[in-house]
């Protein structure tokens, strides 16, 4: 650094902490414990069910209030799972958080971003995310990218006294800043106060479910009022019985467990990914990954290890002091990129007697760094080190040698002697003023998991695009060794068209792109999105930040720049590219399974509403008590849905899930209602005059319960496909559980179930079989039309 400002003292830091002048920023990883409890407890569904539960407690008996226990259990499960997910997120967020370097008591120390205080002196280096607002106090060729705040593409050169805003990041050079605004008063914190908090409720999945719930709520009101009047009139001499039958009709209309299972599925997904050292910074990212159709990868740090090694130096000018220059340039950068670090390791220590008079740090946009160097004799020369095809004009003979190395998958840097003004920082300065001195050849190790990961994406129908700042031939060679289709035709991004439609066509036809600048990465992602693709972007460097931000899902490496980690939705803390399939699979599991079990919940809602309407029109007692529907809901919806929601599922999510669910749930609900009411009315005719009130009400209810259970079990058997051993066992266990209730005397009495004779029960079974076959016809029709759900699709 340029000065030796000691920064704050320990006492000064303590004073500012006591005054509350700390960087207290919004928590990104989740909502507070109070918010979690409130969100799971104070819901529209719980309010409806709570009122009904209270009514049953007044009229009794207690077995008709069992549904209240289910609601309480659901709420507790949701709270516990979300708290577990919060702990996982918070623990990983601490590990993955950027740690700015500050000077305190004259020492440079790393602190958590939340521990920064007002007037802290913060050191800045390449790739650092600026965590607070402040003023530049030291600048060494400092360039700051403010595009995330302003949209301006060009990095801004900052001098001492210039303002720095949080949310920007260092694109090149280094320096220091004095913190002027911290915490919620900082610019980026004010913008992100709401957007950076827990955002599960904004997901496409939850949005669809909320739409359904709003519709159901409005449907319940008129249906419920009509049912109340009907049951009061039918049971005029028995008000408690009227209340019980009315509550029984209203309770199943509410898909109470669906929201719970959605929350649990997301929470379990967070926990599972946390075990794989994947930090999910925004929970909808789990859902978004299920919808990904294209994955854009950076080569360095993703397909290859970030670390490099110098394998060869090709001397183009034998008289040039190449080792001394490389050693000096490698040591000059306090935060070197991987290439300079490899050079510094190969030519360590830096030569004595040589010094740098002025320097231009490396930037991803320029693709070169430069310095004015004075040798021990006092002679000065200007040097540049960077990409050969950027520094030299097209057709230069040295480029043929560089391309030959690149075709072998090697990275090549060119050392040149420059005549003219060094500080001309605009992109390319080729021509006769550049004198090639040496080619520096670097090798990277291909990640062992890269080929397996690419095969996974190919097998899942997800396209892979490699967007790299390296030479296109080199990138293509690496991609070919990994078996990536299309890698034999790499594209130099400098030749890409600027017209969006033409660019979209090029990116559709090609797989590998080299010499891609930060803005071009952003443009390629936008072109894919404009073509209707859902894009995930992985990267670790400053040049990936804009693309990570704009992609539908940004995935950063844990060892990447703080800026890349800050804008990504998911951070792979162990830099394990091979963990990405597990992340994608987790997203698909969540979305596919929630869509799968939503069929069960909404089928119940449909048949409950229709059954209430038919009962009102028929002026008969409602065919069930709450206890009966608790059995049916638990055995044909709640229990199987819980297992199915957490099962493996690799099907890529498609848009329009609500429509697909309704296309199955509505006809299935009609079939279930038709079979149930027919069974009930038939039983009433069979038992007419047997038990008072025109018949044996318990026997009639039992026949209807048997029919509805069997139809529900058949629906579970359809939704559970394709069958595995545990799914078959699940269906059999559900059937056995209901059988136990029917044959054990205590349970018969507790649940008021009694199958009398053989005619009505036989008819109940026959009607259930007919309804089940109708469900199979519906399933087959959806398969043929393509308007199917994941359960129908997986055969």
Q: Any idea which residues carry the catalytic annotation?
A: 298
Residue 486, sorted as left (phi over 0), alpha (psi -120 to 50) or beta, turns out to be: left
Dist. CA 595–CA 589, nearest whole Å? 10
Q: Which of 238, 329, 276 is nearest to 581 (CA)?
A: 276
Integer Rg of the chain from CA: 33
> Residue 739: helix, strand or coil by DSSP?
helix
End-to-end Cα separation, the chain, in angstroms: 65
Residue environment code for 596-607, b if the CB has 16+ CB neighbours within 10 A, otherwise e: bbbbbbbbbbbb
Residue-by-residue DSSP string for 374-396: E-TTS-EEEEEEE-HHHHS-TT-
Give, for 368, the enclosing helix (H) or strand (E).
Answer: strand 368-374
Neighbours of 324 (CB within 10 A): 18
Structure tokens belonging to residue 137: 């106090």
Structure tokens belonging to residue 337: 């990129």
Dist. CA 532–CA 34, nearest whole Å? 39
For 146-269, strand residue ranges (E) read 156-157, 163-164, 169-181
Taking each helix axis from N to C terminus, what angle separates 580-618 and 204-234, rounded to the nearest 10 degrees? Answer: 20
Residues 6+ apart with CB under 8 A from 162: 135, 136, 139
Residues 6+ apart with CB under 8 A from 3: 137, 138, 176
Dist. CA 576–CA 574, nearest whole Å? 5
Dist. CA 197–CA 284, nearest whole Å? 12
Residue 174, sorted as left (phi over 0), alpha (psi -120 to 50) or beta, turns out to be: beta
> Residue 397: helix, strand or coil by DSSP?
helix
Cα–Cα distances in angstroms (integers) from residue 460 to residues 235, 289, 453, 556, 570, in the given order: 58, 13, 11, 22, 20
| CA atoms lying within 13 Å on the CB side of residue 407 | 8
Yes or no: say if 229 and 614 are a contact pair by the CB < 8 Å rule.
Answer: no
Long-range contacts of 183-190 (CB under 8 A, 24+ apart): 183/22, 183/23, 183/24, 183/25, 184/24, 184/25, 184/26, 185/133, 186/23, 186/25, 186/131, 186/132, 186/133, 187/133, 187/149, 188/149, 189/25, 189/26
Beta-sheet strand order (sheet of 368-374): 304-315, 434-446, 411-418, 380-386, 368-374, 355-360
Residue 415, sorted as left (phi over 0), alpha (psi -120 to 50) or beta, turns out to be: beta
Yes or no: say if 176 and 125 are a contact pair by the CB < 8 Å rule.
Answer: no
């Amino acid at each position: 650094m340029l000065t030796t400002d000691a920064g704050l003292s320990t006492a000064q830091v303590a004073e500012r902490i006591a005054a509350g002048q700390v960087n207290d920023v919004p928590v990104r990883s989740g909502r507070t414990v109070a918010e979690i409890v409130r969100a799971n407890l104070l819901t529209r569904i719980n309010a409806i069910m709570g009122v009904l539960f209270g009514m049953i407690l007044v009229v009794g008996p207690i077995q008709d209030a069992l549904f209240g226990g289910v609601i309480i259990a659901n709420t507790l499960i949701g709270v516990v799972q979300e708290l577990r997910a919060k702990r996982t997120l918070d623990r990983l967020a601490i590990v993955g958080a950027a740690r700015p370097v500050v000077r305190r008591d004259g020492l440079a120390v790393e602190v958590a971003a939340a521990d920064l205080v007002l007037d802290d002196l913060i050191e800045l280096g390449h790739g650092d995310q600026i965590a607070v607002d402040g003023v530049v106090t030291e600048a060494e060729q400092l360039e700051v990218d403010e595009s995330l705040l302003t949209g301006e593409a060009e990095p801004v050169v900052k001098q001492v006294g210039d303002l720095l805003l949080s949310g920007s990041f260092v694109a090149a050079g280094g320096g220091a800043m004095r913190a002027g605004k911290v915490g919620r008063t900082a610019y980026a914190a004010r913008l992100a106060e709401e957007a950076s908090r827990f955002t599960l409720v904004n997901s496409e999945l939850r949005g669809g479910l909320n739409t359904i719930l709003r519709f159901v709520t409005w449907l319940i009101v008129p249906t419920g009022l009509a049912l109340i009047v009907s049951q009061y009139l039918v049971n005029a001499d028995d008000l408690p019985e009227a209340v019980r039958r009315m509550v029984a009709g209203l309770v199943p209309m509410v898909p109470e467990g669906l929201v719970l299972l959605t929350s649990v599925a997301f929470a379990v997904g967070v926990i599972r990914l946390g075990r794989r050292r994947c930090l999910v910074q925004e929970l909808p990212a789990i859902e978004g990954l299920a919808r990904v159709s294209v994955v854009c990868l950076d080569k360095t740090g993703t397909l290859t290890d970030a670390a490099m090694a110098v394998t060869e130096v090709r001397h183009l000018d034998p008289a040039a002091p190449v080792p001394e220059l490389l050693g000096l340039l490698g040591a000059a950068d306090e935060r070197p990129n991987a290439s300079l670090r490899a050079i510094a390791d190969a030519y360590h220590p830096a030569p004595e007697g040589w010094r740098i008079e002025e320097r231009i740090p490396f930037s991803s946009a320029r693709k070169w760094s430069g310095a004015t160097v004075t040798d021990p004799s006092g002679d000065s020369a200007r040097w540049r080190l960077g990409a050969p095809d950027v520094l030299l004009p097209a057709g230069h003979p040295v480029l043929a040698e560089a391309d030959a190395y690149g075709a072998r998958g090697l990275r090549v840097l060119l050392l040149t002697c420059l005549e003219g003004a060094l500080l001309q920082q605009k992109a390319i300065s080729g021509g006769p003023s550049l004198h090639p001195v040496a080619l520096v050849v670097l090798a990277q190790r291909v990640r062992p998991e890269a080929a397996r990961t690419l095969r996974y994406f190919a097998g899942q129908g997800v396209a892979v695009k490699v967007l790299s700042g390296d030479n296109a031939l080199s990138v293509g060679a690496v991609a070919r060794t990994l078996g990536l289709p299309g890698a034999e035709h790499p594209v130099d991004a400098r030749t890409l068209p600027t017209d969006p439609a033409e660019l979209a066509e090029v990116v559709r036809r090609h797989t590998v792109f080299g010499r891609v600048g930060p803005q071009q990465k952003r443009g390629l992602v936008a072109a894919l999105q404009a073509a209707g693709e859902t894009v995930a972007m992985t990267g670790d460097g400053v040049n990936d930040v804009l693309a990570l931000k704009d992609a539908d899902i940004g995935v950063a490496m844990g060892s990447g720049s703080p800026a890349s980690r800050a804008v990504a939705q998911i951070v792979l803390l162990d830099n394990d590219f091979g963990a990405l399939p597990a992340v994608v699979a987790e997203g698909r599991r969540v979305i596919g399974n929630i869509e799968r079990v939503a069929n069960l919940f909404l089928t119940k809602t449909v048949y409950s509403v229709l059954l209430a309407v038919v009962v009102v029109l028929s002026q008969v007692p409602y065919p069930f008590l709450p206890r009966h529907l608790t059995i049916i809901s638990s055995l044909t919806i709640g229990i199987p849905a819980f297992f199915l929601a957490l099962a493996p599922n690799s099907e890529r999510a498609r848009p329009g899930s609500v429509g697909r669910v309704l296309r199955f749930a509505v006809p299935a609900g009609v079939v279930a209602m038709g079979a149930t009411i027919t069974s009930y009315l038939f039983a009433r005719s069979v038992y007419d005059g047997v038990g008072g009130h025109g018949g044996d009400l318990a026997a009639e209810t039992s026949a209807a319960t048997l029919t509805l259970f069997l139809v529900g079990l058949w629906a579970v058997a359809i939704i559970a496909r394709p069958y595995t051993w545990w799914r078959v066992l699940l269906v059999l266990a559900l059937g056995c559980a209901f059988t136990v209730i029917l044959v054990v005397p205590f349970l018969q009495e507790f649940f008021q179930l009694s199958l009398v004779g053989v005619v009505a029960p036989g008819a109940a079974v026959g009607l259930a079989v007919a309804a089940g076959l109708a469900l199979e016809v519906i399933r087959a029709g959806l398969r043929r039309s393509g308007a199917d759900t994941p359960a129908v699709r997986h055969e």
